[in-house]
Amino acid sequence: MLQTFKEMEASLDEKELGLASLKIGLKVDQEGEDPEKTLSFASRALKVLESEPALLVAIALQLMILDKDNSKPSLLAAMALQFMGSASYMLKKFNDSLGYLNKANRVLVRLVLDGNIDVEDIKPMLHAVQHELSNVKTAMGRREEAIENLKMSLEIKEMTLDKDNNDLAVAHRELAEAYVAVLNFKEALPFGLKALEIHRSSVWKYYVEVAYDRRLLGVIYNGLEEHEKALQQNQLSQKVLKKLGLSSDLLREEIDTSNMHLALHKYDEAIDTLKGVVQHAEKDSETRALVFFNMFISMTEDLHIKEKYTDSKWCLDIACGILANNETVSLVKAVEAYSELAMQYSFRVESERAVSLLKRMLPMLENLPQQQHFEGSVSAEMGFLLLCHRKLPEAITYLESAAEKFKQCFGSEHFAVGCMYDNLGVAYFDLDRPQSAVERFAAAKDILDVALGPHHKDSIQTCQNLSKAYGAMGSYSLAIEFQERVIDAWESHEPSPDAEYELVRARRCLEQLKAKTGGASIEQEESWNTTCYPLTLPDFPLKPELNKHVV
């Protein structure tokens, strides 16, 4: 076909060239083998279409897109824009792809609103555009926005497909995975359950899909800290995979089982499960190496709980050596493994080793454009560790980078952005720059009050930090105002020993602030009254299916 096009190209006029380019571009795009060629033909077709609007009618007629009255010429332009967006996405030209797809979406919406076309006629194309917009935004780290496009895509499928259609079930599962990726397990659960319901009720008996649904539900229940339910879903999934003889998927499920045992503090069961995986994994395979890595990580945690700290450290160092000797594993798995190692070293207060491992991860993540959120998480953890060790200028660099990544990925109002602003405030406070600290703490408070609620412990801690920063500036009236808010929040907090302790501290801090406004000097201030404390950030999963350790 391409050879024929080359032979005819010189003899074609612009109108014929536009039609031929579009037809060939659509064909190449369907095959999905050469996005460069797809983009080339799409660009050529669109150039002709935009320069000669009258040509739209003729081309659309030949493609049987238009009605007999030739009243819907813009639909062809939308089609060209859509597969240009698709090709640009495959070439990782995400900004270009987003522009083409947004323009295609606007054209389609305008056609419907103007009454030029019945929405029923273009539902498949509307679905394709929404789904591709979701993919592009996910690749750009704009996951919250991507979820909205994915929801619209699902709504269109619900209107066009049978209730027991496999594609509809997969669409529900994709949306559940998208929510898991932003740690919204509560929203993910109903979509995961719906996917399972459709697959189980279908006359086609999608056994493999049922296993995958249960695997995802295991991740969701783990995120909701319902570990027994997670383990149950995982075991049911394994039964299906054993019947079907899917050994690679089964090994993966067994590794998940060991992780769930760890979440339930059943360390012996976790290690026994991994031993079974080792016996079935091929010698010198990537799976076998990663299983050994997981096994030593599990032993590290088990020995640490048993207060055998020397042995625990020995197992951790072995795990580090296994990874160093198997860096040829897939990039995603290498990143996951380094993340686990960094967390373990950080937990054992070996911050320099943890920071070194995290720094090693950042160049890897640059080659994983869809994991910008995790790149932000790595920068956040590095900033936190450096902050705790008072390497403040370097900490600020990583914290600011993390804040920008989180804003790109989750929006400027996400709680992760608020956490970064709070930690930046702590860094500036420790640098004796209270004005800069106040600005960061105030921004953090605005975000966390909305995202978490004013009575969440992190929101209260940020309010406390803001009070201390105002006190350091000598703005005692504002310091007292926010300190009183801290007290009110702790008084309204769910009763607990920690809440009671924090309430006593907050009241003591208020007394000292009031004493200062009266001109009294306090010879010995308690350290907690003049220290701001950073917030820790929950781990962000690298992939929707990631539980705790590498898979």
Domain 1-140 of CATH type 1.25.40.10: yes
pLDDT top residue among 543 and 421 = 421
Confidence tier at 545 by pLDDT (50, 70, 90): very low
Helices 286-305 and 331-347, packing angle to 10 deg: 10
Coil, helix or strand for 25? helix
Coil, helix or strand for 333? helix
- Residue 452 pLDDT > 50, yes or no? yes
- Residue 497 pLDDT > 80, yes or no? yes
Least confident window among 105-119, 164-178, 380-394 = 105-119
Confidence tier at 223 by pLDDT (50, 70, 90): confident
Q: DSSP assignment, residue 281?
A: S
Tokens found for residue 173: 């599962």
Q: Taking the chain, what is the end-to-end CA distance rounded to the nearest angstrom? A: 43
Tokens found for residue 167: 């594609």
Least confident window among 65-74, 228-237, 257-266, 442-451 = 65-74
- Residue 234 pLDDT > 90, yes or no? no
- Residue 216 pLDDT > 70, yes or no? yes
- Placement of tokens 């009258």 in the chain: 54
Amino acid 353: pLDDT: 79
Domain 414-519+527-550 of CATH type 3.30.70.100: no
Confidence tier at 14 by pLDDT (50, 70, 90): low
Q: Which residue from 314, 389, 404 is spatially nearest to 351, judged by alpha carbons?
A: 389
Amino acid 480: pLDDT: 94
What average pLDDT does this structure show over 458-474? 93
Torsion of CA 94, 99, 101, 107, to 10 degrees: 180
Whether 536 and 386 have beta carbons less than 8 Å apart is answered as no
Torsion of CA 370, 373, 378, 382, to 10 degrees: 140
Least confident window among 123-137, 331-345, 461-475 = 331-345
Amino acid 295: pLDDT: 66
Tokens found for residue 396: 């600020």
Tokens found for residue 504: 């006593």
Confidence tier at 289 by pLDDT (50, 70, 90): low
- Placement of tokens 């704009």 in the chain: 142
Whether 327 and 299 have beta carbons less than 8 Å apart is answered as no
- List C-alpha distances in Å: 120 to 59, 79, 81, 123, 160: 22, 16, 20, 5, 9
- Placement of tokens 């539980």 in the chain: 547
Amino acid 479: pLDDT: 93
What are the phi and psi torsion angles at 206 (to 5°)? -80, 75
| Cα 122-128-132 angle, rounded to 5 deg | 150
1-140 and 330-411 share one fold: yes
- Residue 372 pLDDT > 90, yes or no? no
Amino acid 189: pLDDT: 96
Q: Where are the domains of the chain?
A: 1-140, 330-411, 414-519+527-550
pLDDT top residue among 25 and 493 = 493
Q: What percent of the chain has pLDDT over 90?
A: 27
**Burial class, 231, CB count within 10 angstroms (exposed 0-12 / middle 13-18 / buried 19+):** buried
Whether 172 and 154 have beta carbons less than 8 Å apart is answered as yes
What average pLDDT does this structure show over 365-377? 74
Query: To the nearest whole number, what is the mean pLDDT of the chain?
Result: 77
Amino acid 58: pLDDT: 45
Amino acid 174: pLDDT: 94
Residue range 182-213, pLDDT digits in tens: 778 999 999 999 999 998 887 556 778 888 89
- Ramachandran area for residue 89 (φ above 0: left; ψ -120 to 50: alpha; else beta): alpha
DSSP state letters, 505-549: HHHHHHHHHHHHHTT---SS--GGGS-------PPPPSSTT--SS
Q: How far apart (Å, rounded) are the C-alpha atoms in residues 393 and 537?
A: 20
Question: How would CATH label the architecture of 330-411?
Answer: Alpha Horseshoe (1.25)
Q: How far apart (Å, rounded) are the C-alpha atoms in residues 14 and 24?
A: 15
- Residue 326 pLDDT > 90, yes or no? no
